[in-house]
Chain A
Amino acid sequence: MDGTLTVRARGVSKFFGEVVALDEVDFDVAAGQVHGLVGPNGAGKTTLLGLLLGLSVADRGSLDILGSSLRRGSAVPDRVAGFVDGPGLYPWLTARQNLDAVASLRGDGRSDIPDALDQVGLTDVADDRVRGFSLGMRQRLGLAAALLVRPRVLVLDEPANGLDPAGARHINRVLTGVAATGTSVILSSHRMDDLAALCSEVTLLTAGRVVFSGPIGKLAAEIGELDHRLRTSDAAVAEQVASRTPGVRVLPDDGLLRRPDADVLCVRGSVPTMDDLVARLVHAGVAVRELAPVVAPLEAAFLALTGAADAPMGADESTGADELR
């Protein structure tokens, strides 16, 4: 990552009639950076990705990509590629023919087709019609189509959607490799573990507004307190110690945040207070067998910043397929 900005958005707003899809969004992506877009359904992620791919134009603000300012009537620079709302593939064409069409339309990349298919692990089904492909295979083929143009900005909406864990890891490796060559990768995902593993920076959108944009570490730090699952050799003593530790709160057993194990407590506190709690437990002769966040820091930040933390569990577990924008 060389620090040069490939994408720079300032005060970008987009309206759909009365609906404000994006509201004064500022957004920077550096070359070689994997940048995650996070937000609940309807937050404006797809709209923002659509703007980056030139599918629509911002109603207000400025959006510069690879040195070009995107305005009404101007084309997106050549080295921008990707997909939103799933890759659009022609079902009656084979995987190779779909890629061939992309290469032909863009004027180059035909010789890269075998390599692109190999990169996403579709060489064996290159001559099968896309009609019979699973969602995960389509996602891979969509990524291969994007890679054909040797992108400097790669825009992907839920690239791991429909992929099994091994497939998701494979795609993550591909994206990391692409970023290592200096390409900016901008992706949205509901899978916080993927984003945490892939992204150096994230932008968190809610109701069209940016509520956070920056390094993931900073986001986790901003959260402050996290809920932790604490498994010890003596739950009763541990609960007494925790309740006496400054900055630590023992959460009631609501059956949602922790398993109904007798030796498990759910405690809330910052990282330093957890350190203090561990020292006190050891001092009290209680063995600490497990201390881990109930949810990953990024997910916790997401829930906290989007106000979804108070929502019933499972209320925001959509895969995004039903997301309108």
Chain B
Amino acid sequence: MTAAVAQERVAARPAPALRGYRFELLKLVVQWRVRLLLVACWVGPAVFVAAVSGQSSLPSDTLFGRWMGQTGWAGSLVVLSFCCTWVLPLLTSLVAGDVFAAEDRVGTWRHLLTVVRSPRRVFVTKALAGLTVIVLLAAGPAASSVIGGVVAVGDRPLVGLDGHLLGLGQAAGAVLLAWAAALAPTVAFAAVGLLGSVALGRSPMGLLLPALLALLLQVVQLLPLPVAVRVALPSYAFLAWRGLFTDPAQTGPVVLGVVVSLAWAVTATALAYLLFLRRDFTDLAYDGSGRRALAGGVLPLVALLAATAGVVAIATPASGSGIDRSKLQTSMATAYAHLYRLQSRELRRPDVTEAHLLTSAACDKGGSRVDDVGPGNDWRCVVSWHIPGATAVGSAVYQLDLTADGRYVADGDGPQEVNGFFQVRTPTGDAPNPLWQFDGSVDLLSATSKG
């Protein structure tokens, strides 16, 4: 055929990004699964906090759980602890883990690409829509639990992890910051979900990937890892937010945890992007899964973990597990002093200051044959302080269960009038004894003593 080729060039414009984003968002929110999740996330935590705060038996195993009856802020932090364990990774599974695979399931990739005319734009709009829904879902428990707690219990001061009191503004700020810090690993898990969704196509493994990764990392967090490796895990910020509730705040672990999470988010998203652009959509039999895709997704993330661990090891003064006697003694003495003041106020005794108490702690792990380093439930501390108005020195014994992430539960072992009973008798009636059992936190990243 001899014919002229069309000279008039027709514009080639991909669909506008904003319209693509709105369409992706629409596709997510019209799904019943996502709607139910939104309702559950925005209503469930408020109901939970209000209901549990009124119970006589509080979830004292959970961080801040023992304070749920005292202040509404504690309920939000209990919900945050629970969310960091399961809820947030599962949300990322259900949304980000499915955002690409859904197109494979209903066979709409070719239609979408034909209409949008830019795989890049399809990826970006899908990723942004998924992120939006995840942020909406994650904001639900934060807002809902705070509202539920404050309405049901009130906004009284919150007892921090070193026993100091956080007033209304401080508590609100710290709680919001803690939720914001938890958003970073949530985004990292969402990115892993995107990667799984792209790399594994319609395989259910793509959907499960963030949840499986969360499970794996939880198991890993229980192991006695070097602190550099622990901090390099993308889930570390799910634990590090606790540092915001000490005075001064342990910001180092929080910042590092957030930075590591964001590095994972960026890397996993970039890998997903590259895998997506390499996919050939004319081949129906190929949905993106395959050994090469898996290797292209997993190996770079393992390399990122190794690189991050190396950087943290060089950049921070901590070594080993990050837990030693000196750090624990400092933490215990500080917490005890703060809580002693709290108990004094409850008992309407004359106020004292931490400086007057001159509190110190002597800790030992497992007797003389065991090195005083690392986690374990065989730590024992004797706290001493100057009794106000007297020359005598008081002492109290605590058995500690110190976990590898730096959190400990100190269980009072006497004397009974100080820390041996769970309640104290105050002029207005019985009240929880703050010195009986308390939670504390060791800063894993502060300098480890050599001796």
Spell out A's residues near B (CB within 8 Å): 3-6, 8, 14, 16, 28, 30-31, 46-47, 50-51, 53-56, 64, 66-68, 74-79, 81-93, 101-102, 104-107, 142, 145, 152, 214, 324-325
Given contacts A75-B14, A77-B10, is CB(A54)–CB(B3) below 8 Å? Answer: no
Q: Count the B residues whose beta carbon is within 8 Å of the partner chain — how many?
A: 42
Nearest CB of chain B from residue A289's CB, rounded to whole Å:
41
Cα distance A119–B233 in the bound complex, in angstroms:
57
**Chain B contacts for A145, CB-based, 8 A:** 111, 115
Contact with A along B8-22 (1 / 0, CB 8 A): 111111111001101
Determine the chain B residues whose CB is within 8 A of the CB of A67 once the complex forms: 5-10
Cross-chain contact B107 with A107 (CB below 8 angstroms): no
Verify if B57 is at the interface (C-beta below 8 Å from A). Answer: no
- Across the A-B interface, give the 10 residue pairs with the lowest CB-CB distance, nearest first: A88-B111, A50-B282, A88-B108, A67-B9, A77-B10, A66-B10, A105-B15, A75-B12, A75-B117, A3-B3
B283 interface contact, C-beta 8 A? yes
Provide the B53-67 mask, 1 if CB < 8 A to any CB of A, else 0: 000000000000000
Q: Which of A53, A85, A105, A106 contacts B284 (CB 8 A)?
A: A85
A214 CB contacts on chain B under 8 angstroms: 1
Chain B, Cβ-Cβ closest to A16: B283
Q: How far is the CB of A283 from chain B (nearest CB, A)?
A: 44
Q: Are A4 and B282 in contact (CB under 8 A)?
A: no
B3 and A28 within 8 A (CB): yes
B112 to chain A: which residues have CB within 8 Å?
88
- Interface stretch, picked from B23-31, B326-334, B378-386, is B23-31
Q: Out of B13, B23, B27, B108, which one reaches A89, CB within 8 Å?
A: B108
* CB proximity of A149 to chain B, nearest CB, Å: 8
A79/B4 in contact, CB under 8 A: no
Cβ A30 vs Cβ B11 within 8 A? no
Bound form: Cα–Cα A14–B282 in Å: 11
Chosen A-B contacts, 17 in total, with CB atoms closer than 8 Å, are: A4-B3, A4-B4, A54-B113, A66-B9, A67-B5, A77-B10, A81-B114, A83-B114, A88-B112, A90-B106, A90-B108, A104-B22, A105-B15, A105-B116, A107-B16, A324-B284, A325-B283
A54 touches B4 (CB 8 A): no
List which B278-319 residues lie within 8 A (CB) of chain A. Answer: 280-285
Chain A residues within an 8 Å CB radius of B113:
53-55
Residue from A86, A89, A104, A152 within 8 A of B10 (CB atoms):
A152
What chain B residues lie within 8 Å of A85 (beta carbons)? Answer: 107, 110, 284
**In the complex, are the beta carbons of A105 and B20 less than 8 A apart?**
yes
Q: Given A46-B282, A324-B283, verify A79-B10 contact (CB < 8 Å).
A: yes
A212: shortest Cβ distance to chain B, in Å?
A: 13
Which B residues lie within 8 Å of A101 (CB)? Answer: 23, 26, 115
Q: What number of residue pairs across chains A and B have CB atoms under 8 A from each other? A: 132
Assess whether A5 is in contact with B4, with CB atoms less than 8 Å apart. yes
CB distance from A46 to the nearest CB of B (A): 7
A106 to B117: give the CA distance in the assembly, Å: 10
20 new A-B contacts, CB < 8 A, other than A8-B5, A55-B110, are A4-B3, A31-B6, A46-B282, A55-B114, A56-B280, A66-B9, A67-B5, A74-B12, A77-B9, A77-B12, A87-B111, A88-B110, A88-B112, A90-B106, A90-B108, A105-B20, A107-B15, A142-B111, A145-B115, A152-B10
A3 to B2, CA, bound (A): 8
* Known pairs A77-B10, A81-B114, A89-B111; A105 contacts B23 (CB<8 A): yes
Could you say which residues of chain A place their CB within 8 Å of the CB of B85? none
The residue on B at minimum CB distance from A3 is: B3
Inter-chain contacts of B426 with A (CB < 8 A): none
On whether the beta carbons of B6 and A6 are closer than 8 Å, the reply is yes
Minimum distance in angstroms from A73 CB to a CB of chain B:
9
Closest to A91 in B: B106
Would you call B117 and A88 a contact (CB within 8 A)? no
Query: For the complex, what is the distance from the CA of A93 to the CA of B4, rounded to whole Å?
Result: 43
Pick from B5, B106, B283: contact of A4, CB under 8 Å: B5
Known: A6-B6, A67-B7, A67-B9. A55 touches B282 (CB 8 A): yes
Is the pair A82, B114 in contact by a Cβ cutoff of 8 Å?
yes
Q: Are B282 and A56 in contact (CB under 8 A)?
A: yes
Q: How far is the CB of A260 from chain B (nearest CB, A)?
A: 42
The CA-CA distance from A64 to B8 in the complex, in Å, is 12
The residue in chain A whose Cβ has the minimal distance to the Cβ of B106 is A91
Q: Given the known A-B contacts A51-B282, A83-B114, are A104 and B9 also in contact in the complex, defined by CB atoms under 8 Å?
A: no
Q: Does residue B118 face the partner (Cβ distance < 8 Å to A)?
A: yes
Give B12's nearest chain A residue, CB to CB.
A75
Closest to A84 in B: B110
Known: A88-B108, A92-B30, A101-B23. A106 touches B282 (CB 8 A): no
Nearest-neighbor residue (CB-CB) of A149 within chain B: B115
